[in-house]
Amino acid sequence: MSELTKVRIILVEPAGALNVGSVARVMKNMGLQQLVLVKPHCNVLGQEAIQMAVHATDVLKQALVVESLPEALKGCQRAIATTARSRTLPLTLEQPRNALPWLLTEAGESALIFGPEDRGLSNAELGLAQRFVCIPANPEYPSLNLAQAVAVCVYELYQISQEEFDSPTLAETVDSDTATLDALENYYQHLEAILLKIGYLYPHTATKRMEKLRRLYNRSALSKQELAMLRGILRQIEWALQAKKE
C-alpha cells in the first residue's frame, strides 16, 4: 500500500464538482491519498463535491490546488497521461493494466494525469508525460466520464499493488538519482531558448520541434548527473555566443 500513497492523481481544469467529489471517494476506496487539481473550474469544497465524496472528505480537503500542470508534477519522476486518442502525435497508447505498474515504485513520486471533461489533455499537456494510457471501450461510444476513467485506473493500481512484485515490470523501481520532471522542464525551457538563439529553432515551428525533443528525452530516463551535464553544455554554448559578440 505504501507505493499507492506516492501516486498523485492530477485533474487538469476539472469542470464538475460532482466529478471531483466522486474521484476523491474512489481514491480512498483504492488506497490513494494525493489529489492535485490544476485550475479547477468548480467549487471543489462545495456541497456537491462533499456530497459525492461521502467518507472521503479528508482526501478532498487536503487536495492540492495549483495553477499549472508543471507545478502539479513538481518532484515527480514518472508521469502517465490518459487520452482517448493520439491527437496527431505519434504516441504509443497503452492499456491501463500494462502501463500503470510503472507508477508503483519503491522510490520517488509518480503521477497519473487526467484532462478536462470537455476536451481532454492538449498536445502540450501530453508532452509533459512519459507514457500514455487509453482505456479500451466500446468503439460505438468510447467516451468515459472523468470520474469513471479515474475509477478504472485506480482500481487497476489497487489490484496491481496487491500482487507479488515478481515480474520485471512490477519489480522495476525508480532510481533515486533519476531526474525529476520539473528539473527536466527547466532543461527543456533552457534548451528551447538556446536553440532559438542559434537558429536551429524558429518561433513558428518551435512548439512542434520541442514536442519531438521532449519525447526523445522522456524515453531516456535521464539521471540527475546526466541532466546536469546537458545543462552544462547549454551554459557553455551561451558563453561561446556571448564571447563571439565581444
What one-character-per-residue DSSP string does 112-154 give? EEE--TTT---HHHHTT-SEEE-----TTS-PPPHHHHHHHHH
CB-count exposure of residue 194 (10 Å: 0-12, 13-18, 19+):
middle
Q: What is the pLDDT of residue 88?
A: 63
- Partners of 38 in the beta sheet? 12, 66
- Residue pair 210/169 in contact (Cβ under 8 Å)? The answer is no
Strand ranges inside 31-184, DSSP E: 34-38, 64-66, 76-82, 93-94, 109-114, 131-133
Residue 23 pLDDT: 97
pTM (predicted TM-score): 0.81
Q: Residue 214: its pLDDT value, please?
A: 87
- The mean pLDDT values, 10 residues at a time, for the chain of 246 residues are 86 95 96 96 94 95 96 93 74 90 83 92 91 90 90 94 56 62 90 92 89 85 88 91 81
Beta carbons of 104 and 3 less than 8 angstroms apart: yes
Neighbour-count burial of 230, counting CB atoms closer than 10 A to its CB (0-12 exposed, 13-18 middle, 19+ buried): middle
pLDDT value, residue 111: 96
First and final C-alpha spacing in the chain: 59
Give the three cell numbers for residue 16. Answer: 464538475
For residues 180 and 76, the answer to whether their CB atoms sit within 8 Å is yes
The predicted pLDDT at position 141 comes to 86
Q: Considering only the top CATH level, what class is 4-171?
A: alpha beta
Q: CATH class for domain 181-245? A: mainly alpha
**Every domain of the chain and the residues it spans:** 4-171, 181-245
Size of the chain in residues: 246
pLDDT of residue 224: 86
E strand map for the chain: 7-12, 34-38, 64-66, 76-82, 93-94, 109-114, 131-133
Residue 157 phi, psi dihedral angles, 5° rounding: -60, -45
Phi-psi region of 145 (alpha: psi -120 to 50; beta: other; left: phi over 0): beta
- C-alpha 147/C-alpha 15 separation (Å) is 12
